[in-house]
Structure 1
Amino acid sequence: MSREGSAGAPGVDPEQLWLGSDQPRRGRKPAYSREVITAAAVALADAEGLEAVTMRKVAAQVGAGVMSLYSYAPDKETLLHLMVDHVCAELPTAHPLTGDWRADLKAIAHLQRAHMLRHPWLPAALTTRLVPGPHTLAFLERVLAALRPAGMDGAAKLEVFAQLTAFVAGHVAHEVAQAAMTQSPDRAAAEARYLAVVAADGHHPELAEALSAPGRPLAPEATFSRFLNRLIDGLDTD
């Protein structure tokens, strides 16, 4: 198979990826760095989506031969790990914590949302099993510190981090899709008409009642905060 894909690949070796050198071990002095190549892949994903990121396109971005890139990232799966950790460097890890773990967790979630909106490909990337790199670990360390006052054990804190990240990623994916919907008013109008017909057919009384209730503010930030509050306020510390 092509080295572009990862199906059937043995997976990424975290020791080799994160603890080894980021430079090729053999040959003459490299003309590029893993950082430059990863940044080019991130820029491509930001502009055109994750599907557009191929080793060939990244090579063209940096002006390299595609085969030379395999010295830095042997396949697209490895490149994806590098990209996710690269953008995680943007997440602040030194902001003060209040000691109110629920408030701190909500603030962290808002940081994650803003981060994923800057990189709309991230929610899809996070569905892949990723081995955390140094920047991701620094952010995880901050989240675990925020959760210390909750009195949870280590396993529970890791579960909360996973749950929070999954929630933010899912919400942002939906938010991006909804924003795209506004660019297609005909489709949005058709969806509204369809739901009106379904609500009036007599077979969906619960849905009809829900749709007839007063609407909530639809501002993206307000909607996210509302959903987030339900999640965080309902967390059990056991």
Structure 2
Amino acid sequence: MTVPQDTNPGSTGFDPEQLWLRPAEPRRGRKPSFSREAITAAAVALADAEGLEAVTMRRVAAEVGAGVMSLYSYAPDKETLLELMVDHVSGELPLTTPLSGDWRADLKAIAHLQRDLMLRHPWLPAALSTRRTPGPRTLAFLERALAALRPTGLDGAARLEVFAQLTAFVAGHVTYEISQTAAGRSPERNAAEARYLAAVAADGHHPELAEALACPARPVTPEATFTRFLNRLIDGLGTD
């Protein structure tokens, strides 16, 4: 999924220092009746309901009852608005539960929190597919993840890489989950596919597949599948 471009012709591009380290102030005119937080929340609500394609400066302006040009004082372009949206929903990630000290268990818990967040906001995996500059809420969760990985003995750069790998795994898996739900495969289709694979496995030309299909069936609910894949990923992580 690509993010539609909807930018202010006068914008000079995304500036993380300007966005995250300086207060949001309107550039000129009287004080508006909306805020950066309200703009971001409206954009998130639109994306949740209709997808990222629906999020345009015009639509967001209509949601907050503002003129389009007045929004550019708070989000000068679509890229900046997307940065704000990602950080806004990152604030839903809980930070108060103490870490256990078992880095694998803590990392698995973090991954489940990420999955829950992405399922609540199905546009988030696509938004994360391009590089984002972490805002304050995102940084708070990143700090927790790095702390969870401290018992590994990995240096800071390696811990960042592990967290990036984990987030990419979660985003990819959630994208697959969402696509499968949208496809709405019928029981008849699933049964036909099972019969086909059984026939292929029995032809004598695919012994590896035959062995795999002969194994006991595993739970195929989204939660069970995610947990199984996650365990393999994290349990296989080394600390070298």
Common topology (TM > 0.5):
yes
Amino acid aligned to 2:16: P
CA distance in 2, matches of 1:29, 1:100: 50
Q: 1:212 to 1:14 in 2, by over 3 A?
A: same
| 1:123 and 1:170 in contact (8 A); partners too | yes
Amino acid aligned to 1:24: P
CA distance in 1, matches of 2:189, 2:48: 25
Alignment of 1:1-238 (within 5 A): 4=6, 11-182=13-184, 195=197, 199=201, 204-238=206-240
| 1:3 and 1:74 in contact (8 A); partners too | no
Cα root mean square deviation, aligned:
2.4
- 1:204 Cα offset (Å): 4.4
Amino acid aligned to 1:162: A
Amino acid aligned to 1:175: E
Report the more deviating stretch, 69-78 or 38-47. Answer: 69-78
Q: 1:52 to 1:200 in 2, by over 3 A?
A: farther
Gaps of 5+ in 2: none
Percent of matched pairs sharing the same residue? 78
- Give the aligned length: 235
- 1:56 Cα offset (Å): 1.4
| 1:182 and 1:188 in contact (8 A); partners too | no
- 1:215 Cα offset (Å): 1.9
- 1:188 Cα offset (Å): 5.1
Cα distance per residue 1:119-146 (max 9 Å; x no partner): 1111111001100000000000011111
CA distance in 2, matches of 1:101, 1:234: 13
Amino acid aligned to 2:29: G
Question: TM-score scaled to structure 1, two decimals?
Answer: 0.89
Q: 1:218 to 1:69 in 2, by over 3 A?
A: same
SS in structure 1 at match of 2:149: helix
Question: TM-score scaled to structure 2, two decimals?
Answer: 0.88
Cα distance per residue 1:93-125 (max 9 Å; x no partner): 121111111111111111111111111111111
- 1:208 Cα offset (Å): 4.2
- 1:191 Cα offset (Å): 5.3
CA distance in 2, matches of 1:59, 1:30: 12
- 1:11 Cα offset (Å): 4.5
Gaps of 5+ in 1: none
CA distance in 2, matches of 1:5, 1:186: 46
Return structure 1 stretches of 4+ with deviation > 6 angstroms.
Answer: none
- 1:213 Cα offset (Å): 3.2
Amino acid aligned to 2:30: R
Amino acid aligned to 2:64: V
| 2:14 and 2:77 in contact (8 A); partners too | no
SS in structure 2 at match of 1:130: coil
SS in structure 2 at match of 1:139: helix
- 1:219 Cα offset (Å): 1.7
CA distance in 2, matches of 1:190, 1:181: 16
